[in-house]
Amino acid sequence: MKHFPNASYLAVEPLEERQEALETTKRRFTNFDYALCVAGEVNGEEVDLNVTPDLNGSTVEGQNPGSSRTCLVRTVDSLVIERNLSGPYLLKFDTHGYEIPILSGSNDVLTNTTAIIMETYNFQLTPTSLRFHDMCAHLERLGFRPVDIAEPMLRLHDKAFWQIDILFLKADSDVFQYQHYR
C-alpha cells in the first residue's frame, strides 16, 4: 500500500485464525478486502487444509505435522468479478505448493495480469507441487518470465536452498526487449 496507495487489494486466506487481523486491516484501509477461503480451480469445491501449529506452514495437500480441516474453494476469477476489481493485476502467491490449482482458477485474471510474485521451492512440498525451475517453465507457458528474485531462504536442517520469491512479468514486457548486459 505504501507503493500503490490507490490500488485495490484482495487477500485470499484460508486460515480462520487470521480473520481478526484481516478485519483490522480492512477497517484501516478502505481499499483492502479479503475472502476467507482457499483460492483454487473450482468454485464450491471443498479441500482439506493441513493446518500447522505455527500456521505459517499450512497448505492444501500438506504433509507437515498439524491438524486438518475442510475449506471452501473459490476461484480468483470469481472473486475478482464478485468484487468488481479491474486490472491490471499483480498476483502474490504464498501457497506452499498449491499454485497450479490457483493459476487454473485465474484464467481470465491472468489475461490482464502484469506481474506475479511467486514463492517457489527447491523441494517437493506436496505430491502435486512444482519445484522452482518447473514453476518458471509453467509460468513461461502462461506468458510470464522471471525478472527478479528476493528473499532466498536456506533450509534450517542443512542450509540447502529451500525457497525464493520470484517476480515474473508478462513475456512481452519492455524489460525483455533489451537483450544486452550493459
- What's the pLDDT tens digit per position in 139-167? 999 999 999 999 999 999 999 999 999 99
Whether 152 is in a domain gets the answer: yes
Q: Are the beta carbons of 135 and 97 closer than 8 angstroms?
A: no
Whether 15 is in a domain gets the answer: yes
Write down the pLDDT at residue 106.
98
Whether 181 is in a domain gets the answer: no
Half-sphere exposure of 31 (CA within 13 A, CB side): 9
Write down the pLDDT at residue 67.
86
Find the domain containing 27 and state its range: 9-176
Whether 43 is in a domain gets the answer: yes
**How would residue 66 be classed by pLDDT, with cut points 50, 70 and 90?**
confident
What's the DSSP call for residue 119? E
Whether 111 is in a domain gets the answer: yes
Number of domains in the chain: 1
**Among candidate residues 116, 120, 98, 110, the one with its CA nearest the CA of residue 165:** 120
Q: Which three cell numbers stand for residue 102?
A: 490457483
Instruction: Please report, for the domain that includes residue 163, its CATH number.
Output: 3.40.50
Whether 1 is in a domain gets the answer: no
Write down the pLDDT at residue 54.
85
Q: Are the beta carbons of 144 and 135 closer than 8 angstroms?
A: no
- Mean pLDDT for the chain? 94
| Average pLDDT value for residue range 113-126 | 95
